[in-house]
Amino acid sequence: MPHPKYIFITGGVVSSLGKGLTAASLGTLLEKRGLKVTLQKFDPYLNVDPGTMSPFQHGEVYVLDDGAETDLDLGHYERFTSAPLSKRNNLTTGQVYETVLMKERRGDYLGKTVQVIPHVTDEIKKRIREVAAESKCDVIMTEIGGTTGDIEGLPFLEAIRQFALEVGPENALFMHVTLIPYIKAAGELKSKPTQQSVAKLREIGIQPHILICRTEYPLDRDTRQKLSMFCNVQIDAVIEEMDVNHSIYEVPLMLEREKLDDLVCKHLRIENPKGDMSDWQSFIANLIAPKHRINLAVVGKYIEHQDAYKSIYESLVHAGGALATGVEITKIDSEDIESEGAAKFLEGMDGILVPGGFGSRGTEGKIMAAQFAREHKIPYLGLCLGMQIGVIEFCRNVLGLRDAHSTEFNEKSPHPVIALMNEQHDVVDKGGTMRLGSSPCHLVEGTKVREAYGQPVIDERHRHRYEVNNAYRARMEENGLTIAGTSPDGKLVEVIELKDHPWFVACQYHPEFKSKPNAAHPLFMGFVKAALAQH
């Protein structure tokens, strides 16, 4: 293709419409047509990255290979496409201002008054070009976080308006994801909120080419016509996106039925023929009619928040799909285990998963869950903090080291079995200072983990500060805990497993960031298989 094509995705009416999912799904359809696609997210908040935000605020913090801590929409992008993503693919207002102010201090603006237009908008446009240059993709999709009408989103909208003008109409497309509410009393779908949000966009100078209408009920002809006329969008560009019945992985198929990819290609003068979606279809078929069912417990402290463990839930779905197994997830607050005991919640479960986390609240409950899994031989998967919990439990209850703990939770523990890495001792800043991103891990021959991966060296993503304390390794190994994987120099413990247990596996890294619907992650596969055997 002579020129990369640019697709901009905005959102109207309310947040949480699944813009990221919609963008990612269009990415799937375009990739299936043989196009190289990448996706980028602009977040209007002032944090430099979401790494310092609580999962209660913002859901999961997603981590890329290069160690960037990003918005969870980048997780959708990676699960739905093979887009090459780096820290450039997530830009926040905080980053934009950080850069602009640094340039101002350095004198780069040569005495000019520094302003939102052009200096801030130039910085935003530069980021789009950088992603285009770095990724060498045919199509660059840029999603603008937030809702049209937000004050903080304005500089981003102004920047994409200018950008589209610069690259020309056949190279840029605006797609607006909006809500069509259903009013029960009137028995009607309502188009007015969308008309108003499109009016807001047009005020800034953006005329969307496509409306993606999130709706509980099918869009009737009348509603489509109204939306077309009042929003100044061709009628065949009014796309219905209903709530899915079974799984988010249905969204690409739903959008394909609405001919979204045809429309996009026509507008952008892309001639690649339709792709083959049969692998995607068969994955969905497995999800819809599973042959087996299992019940898994996820024991965490952010369980009320839908999105806090997003990638973990998705990875379980991927493994379930691959094994034709319906995975029922019971979310358990570890503080409830502390007050009422593990048995009440965990008896009868086919598997127990303890995810990552920070801060001491709820850790004792997680330790009780790990103990329950070990003693009752229930398959266990521990991720990051979930591995540290497994180690603490083993040291306390098998090695008999009373009060063994992580120094994150008890600095004065007589047995600091999890402790700070040397290079972390003097770090005071919180943002971006953990061990972050992808690094290699060597697996030990003859372990369950080595068998699950089918290869001796793996690369996995990290996001943590604390490590297994090497002073306790020998004692653990002598008593039935296997160090199944370490950093190449052998100094950092990456994976542990228990000898006398069907599947007690825990890792310091985050396998959930590398699982895909048609390529379920080996550790989730192993865990679901073991849970199935348990069932």
Would you please indicate which residues are annotated as catalytic (active-site) residues? 384, 510, 512
Site string for ligand GLN, 360-379 (x = CB under 6 A): --------------------
Phi, psi dihedrals of residue 22, rounded to the nearest 5° = -65, -45
Nearer Cβ to ligand GLN (248/420): 420
Supply the minimum distance, in Å, between the C-beta of residue 527 and ligand GLN: 17
Nearer Cβ to ligand GLN (19/463): 463
Q: Using the rule CB under 6 A, is 19 a contact of ligand GLN?
A: no
Supply the minimum distance, in Å, between the C-beta of residue 396 and ligand GLN: 18
Supply the minimum distance, in Å, between the C-beta of residue 19 and ligand GLN: 26
> What is the residue-wise DSSP string for 237-278?
GEEEEEPPSS-GGGHHHHHHHTTHHHHHHHHTT--PPP---H
Q: Using the rule CB under 6 A, is 384 a contact of ligand GLN?
A: yes
Scanning 24-32, 49-57, 210-218, 460-468 for contacts with ligand GLN by CB under 6 A, the matching segment is 460-468
Size of site (CB under 6 A) for ligand GLN: 10
Supply the minimum distance, in Å, between the C-beta of residue 521 and ligand GLN: 17
Residues 6+ apart with CB under 8 A from 440: 457, 458, 459, 487, 488
Cα 142 to Cα 205: distance, rounded to the nearest angstrom: 17
Asked if residues 41 and 20 have their Cβ atoms less than 8 Å apart, the reply is yes
Scanning 34-42, 326-334, 353-361, 490-498 for contacts with ligand GLN by CB under 6 A, the matching segment is 353-361
Q: Using the rule CB under 6 A, is 464 a contact of ligand GLN?
A: yes
List the one residue from 6, 80, 163, 466 that touches ligand GLN (CB under 6 A): 466
E strand segments, 287-386: 292-300, 325-333, 351-354, 380-383
Cα 466 to Cα 483: distance, rounded to the nearest angstrom: 17
3 state SS of 175: strand
Sign (positive or negative) of CA dihedral 343, 344, 345, 350: positive
Scanning 248-256, 314-322, 342-350, 463-471 for contacts with ligand GLN by CB under 6 A, the matching segment is 463-471
The footprint of ligand GLN on residues 400-419 (CB under 6 A) is 408
What is the enclosing helix (H) or strand (E) of 213? strand 210-215
Q: Using the rule CB under 6 A, is 342 a contact of ligand GLN?
A: no
Scanning 21-29, 49-57, 295-303, 352-360 for contacts with ligand GLN by CB under 6 A, the matching segment is 352-360
Cα 179 to Cα 206: distance, rounded to the nearest angstrom: 18
| Radius of gyration, alpha carbons of the chain | 25
| Contact residues: ligand GLN, CB under 6 A | 356-358, 384-385, 408, 463-466
